[in-house]
Structure 1
Amino acid sequence: MNPRHHLHESTLMSYAAGALPTALSVVASAHLESCAHCRQLLRDAEAIGAALLDQTQPASPSARQAALREAMLAQLDGEHAASEPVRELRPPAAPAPPRLPVQAHPDALPVSLHPYFGPSLRDVRWRWIAPGVHCIRAADMPSLIMLRIAPGKCLPMHSHGQSELTQILRGAYNDALGIFGPGDMADLDEDVEHQPVTAPGAPCICVSALDAPLRFSGWLARSMQRFVKL
């Protein structure tokens, strides 16, 4: 899986700082599980954050004292070990045989989604919300949803109240921003207006987190919004 669409740098910085809302953080984690590119950017963001923290919070006297105490204890431990009698040496145990990688089941969900939707798509109990569109909402987090959209389905034109993160799990869709397939992340804000169209062949399954309700352009979609709660 080689994602072509990634998390925005500002989203990664917020994730590294622990500042993302929980639902958005769950979806970001699902993307990071499959995207080496974003994992490297996250490590860079964490390193930058640590350097800034060191510059803004110099070591306090208590921190220096704790460091000196740890050094003293380490020295005492070394002297104690040197005074102990030499023990009988034993040959090292034979190394355990390498474990072969476990092949992921095609229906397996990212680990970060397991607490909310279970480990496999086979266990998901979908709820119908519109022709060709089914969803499931996390029980304790209404802003975290998983969608299954039939192939060739054109969704209503909409924009976003604030932020939206959508990770594609299966299938694909395309819109004005490009083609989004398995592993791709749609990191959207209130400036984006789009109309996703799912690709033919297989349903598009994705997990989304919203900071605020969607803003639909058409009157019919707006009138149904209070029923589907998107």
Structure 2
Amino acid sequence: MSPHHHLDESTLLSYAAGALPAPLSVVAGAHLEQCGHCRQRLREAEAIGAALVEQTQPVAVGGRSQALRAAMLAEIERPLPVVAAVPVARPVEPPVTRTEVDPDHLPVSLHPYFGRSLSGLHWRWMAPGVHCIRAAQMPSLIMLKIAPGKCLPMHSHGRSELTQILRGAYNDALGLFAPGDVADLDEDVEHQPVTAPGVPCICVSALDAPLVFSGWLARKIQRFVKL
């Protein structure tokens, strides 16, 4: 699998800094598991971030160095407060390469939300030819199964959207998106995906704002499907 569509530089930097919203981080993790190119770019982003942090550290002058060091150690040893948080799988090291990729296997970052396999999913009807599963822990993290040859409504994005293709494919103004590809979109992109013939297109999407549909009918339906 050699993806042709990759994560945007700003997305990788936010992921490396731990600043990417949780649903987007899950989808980014799914792409990173399948894309060696983006894993290498992530390592470079983390190295740049570490260098910048090191350069911005204050330099102790004279006798203040020991006091600053003691204060830093005391802060490190202080117990952290317990905060409930939604677990987000974040692969840092490249996954172990399998000699045979199981097409039924879901990326590891999706396991806490959808399980381990495509065959184990329980789809819900959303619209003619469109089924979905919404992660219980993250309502804006959605798995979609779209019938072959289906033309989706024209839409743009309130803010950011990440979509990782798991099976099948679709075409839009940005090109062909096939298994392993990620669509990293912002509010400047308006598109109308059309799924390729053959098998259903299965993808996982994360939004940090609702979609913006062009047609009045799609806008009417939007409040029921909550996209």
TM-score normalized by the length of structure 2: 0.84
Gaps of 5+ in 1: 67-99
Gaps of 5+ in 2: 71-96
Per the TM alignment, residue 104 of structure 1 is displaced from its structure 2 partner at its CA by: 3.6
Report Cα offsets for 1:175-208 as digits up to 9, x if no partner: 0000000000100000000000000000000000
Q: What percentage of residue pairs aligned between the two structures are identical?
A: 79
Give the match for residue 16 of structure 1: 16
Please identify which structure carries the higher helix content: 1
How far apart are the structure 2 equivalents of 1:127 and 1:65? 56
Residue 169 of structure 1 pairs with residue 166 of structure 2: yes
Report Cα offsets for 1:115-149 as digits up to 9, x if no partner: 00000011111000000000000001000000000
Give the match for residue 219 of structure 2: 222
Per the TM alignment, residue 59 of structure 1 is displaced from its structure 2 partner at its CA by: 6.0
How far apart are the structure 2 equivalents of 1:62 and 1:117? 50
Report Cα offsets for 1:204-224 as digits up to 9, x if no partner: 000000010000000110000
How far apart are the structure 2 equivalents of 1:115 and 1:64? 41
State how 1:1-230 maps to structure 2 within 5 Å.
1-58=1-58, 61-62=65-66, 101=98, 103-230=100-227
Report Cα offsets for 1:25-61 as digits up to 9, x if no partner: 0000000001011001101100110000001114663
How far apart are the structure 2 equivalents of 1:116 and 1:7? 22
Per the TM alignment, residue 106 of structure 1 is displaced from its structure 2 partner at its CA by: 1.5
Query: Could you say which structure has the larger radius of gyration?
Result: 1
2:179 counterpart letter in structure 1 = P
Distance 1:46 1:221, change over 3 A: same
RMSD: 2.0
The number of equivalent residue pairs is 199
Per the TM alignment, residue 105 of structure 1 is displaced from its structure 2 partner at its CA by: 2.3
How far apart are the structure 2 equivalents of 1:8 and 1:207? 17
Distance 1:49 1:128, change over 3 A: same
Give the match for residue 81 of structure 1: none
Per the TM alignment, residue 64 of structure 1 is displaced from its structure 2 partner at its CA by: 8.3
Distance 1:65 1:142, change over 3 A: closer
Per the TM alignment, residue 101 of structure 1 is displaced from its structure 2 partner at its CA by: 4.7
